[in-house]
Amino acid sequence: MPSNKSVSDAPITQFVNCRILRDHSLQREDLWVREGKILNPEKLFFDEQGFADHKVDCGNKIIAPGFIDVQINGGYGVDFSQVTSDIKGGVALVARRILEHGVTSFCPTLVTSPPAIYKQVIPEVTLTDGGEEGAGVLGLHLEGPFISLEKRGAHPPQFLCSFEEGGMPDLLKIYGELENVAIVTMAPELANSGQAIRDLVRRGITVSLGHSMADLSKAEEAVQHGATFITHLFNAMLPFHHRDPGIVGLLTSDRLPADRTVYYGMIADGIHTHPAALRIAHRAHPAGLVLVTDAVPAMGLPAGRHTLGQQDIHIEGLHACVAGTTTLSGSIATMDMCVRHFRQVSGCTVEEALEAASLHPAQLLGISHRKGTLDYGTDADFVILDDTLTVRETYIAGHLVWRK
């Protein structure tokens, strides 16, 4: 016998006149939210005989899970790889500004730096759920310094490291601690890297392969040790070759554990990857594609000279290069821009473009039970977009945190 007493007296919001991204398709139904979670309306009606306290008319727009950026080096003048007097304040500033691009969670990323920088920055970055103050922090992404000299890209060579004994002692010597670290990018061809991969995975940290000269068999070995991600596919790795496709070959490898999905980051800014390469990757392995911005501190700032970690960066148009060179050093693209570009040049569906920025990064980090979907019981982090995939509103825990 259903009770008339509501399980919770918290107010219920019903979003109507919308298309919701659920189960890989846009469905015309309402979205119900209470206490920061997505509600199952059937349970609400039949078990609680509840009803909505507030209705929001979405004007036939799309509701998609909030975007998750797992590789962002900074923005708006903030460089996550620089020690300042207010590291927390810098992270908070970026967290607040990226709400307008639909990002509800992110991984602040540190490029290759001297050990002193890691030891000062890592303890200052704390995990947050996000809210009106800004997007949630899911953990740090440490991109380097255990990477290849030849494929270092914009990473300063003097701070690159190798593994002496492999494993946790080497990692802790450089990073100081691994609390609040979500992802570590490393080159799997480095001697003793296998032990480091296993130790990181054991601690629940995602290992990504990147800035690497690895051939396919080395990459497959790393995945067998527990690696699950590729940092900005095609960039800073051996180019695809038909006799040894290198790390790129992981997208269609038949030598991976049966229960393992390999995900790969793509910077869909129209500069880092040719549209044809983006299409090849998407068609070969659509379920693994994760859109990342790889945004540098100059994102949101005018052209000219800026910094990234220990390097000077020159911005011209959408190009960010190490000053005085043609070496690309991250992007100044925003996540909503990447979603639109990916949709346009890949010919993928709207649903696939949105899931590459939400569901896939959540699956990569093992948090899809609470983020990256609009399933019942998950966090009510979502974006409302028009048909051009322009973000109109951003919500965290069911609360409006940004409106265009």
Domains of the chain, earliest start first = 12-65+376-403 (2.30.40.10), 67-364 (3.20.20.140)
User: Does the CA dihedral 209-361-341-308 come out positive or negative?
Assistant: negative
The active-site residue, picked from 199, 294, 336, 381, is 294
Least confident of 163-177, 261-275, 310-324, 344-358: 310-324
Q: Which of 149, 131, 147 is nearest to 66 (CA)?
A: 131
Upper half-sphere CA count for residue 215 (Cβ side, 13 Å): 4
294 catalytically annotated: yes
CA separation (Å) from 321 to 133, 155, 316, 331? 31, 12, 8, 9
How does DSSP assign 358-373, residue by residue? THHHHHHTT-TTTSSS
Cβ proximity of 201 and 209 under 8 Å? no
The rounded distance, in Å, linking the Cα atoms of 110 and 352 is: 29
Q: Which residues are annotated as a binding site?
A: 143, 154, 211, 232, 235-236, 243, 272, 328-330
Residue 95 in this model has a pLDDT that exceeds 70: yes
Residue 169 in this model has a pLDDT that exceeds 80: yes
Residue 82 in this model has a pLDDT that exceeds 90: yes
Segment 306-327 mean pLDDT: 90
Residue 69 in this model has a pLDDT that exceeds 80: yes
Segment 126-134 mean pLDDT: 97
Q: Which of 393, 325, 335 is nearest to 156 (CA)?
A: 325
Name the phi and psi angles at 43, rounded to 5: -60, -40
Q: Which residues are annotated as a binding site for substrate?
A: 154, 235-236, 243, 272, 328-330
- Beta strands per DSSP E along 175-317: 181-186, 206-209, 229-230, 263-266, 289-291, 304-308, 311-316
pLDDT of residue 403: 98
pLDDT band at residue 1 under the 50/70/90 scheme = very low
Residue 5 in this model has a pLDDT that exceeds 90: no
pLDDT of residue 2: 44
**Chain mean pLDDT for the chain:** 95
pLDDT of residue 301: 87
pLDDT of residue 7: 66
Residue 366 in this model has a pLDDT that exceeds 60: yes
Structure token pair of residue 159? 């701070």
Q: CB under 8 Å to 275, separation ≥6 — which residues?
A: 345, 346
Segment 214-230 mean pLDDT: 98
The total of other beta-carbon atoms located within 10 Å of residue 125's CB is 21
Per-residue pLDDT of 16-52, as tens digits, reads 999 999 999 999 999 999 999 999 999 888 888 878 9
DSSP H or E segment with residue 342? helix 335-346
Residue 137 in this model has a pLDDT that exceeds 60: yes
State percent of the chain over pLDDT 70.
98
DSSP H or E segment with residue 170? helix 168-175
Q: Which residues are annotated as a binding site for Zn(2+)?
A: 143, 211, 232
Residue 3 in this model has a pLDDT that exceeds 50: no
Q: Which of 111, 144, 104, 41 is nearest to 297 (CA)?
A: 111
Per-residue pLDDT of 234-258, as tens digits, reads 999 999 999 999 999 999 999 999 9
CA separation (Å) from 320 to 77, 145, 342? 14, 21, 19
pLDDT of residue 307: 87
Residue 4 in this model has a pLDDT that exceeds 60: no
Residue 161 in this model has a pLDDT that exceeds 90: yes
Please indicate whether residue 46 or residue 150 has the higher confidence score (pLDDT).
150
pLDDT of residue 6: 47
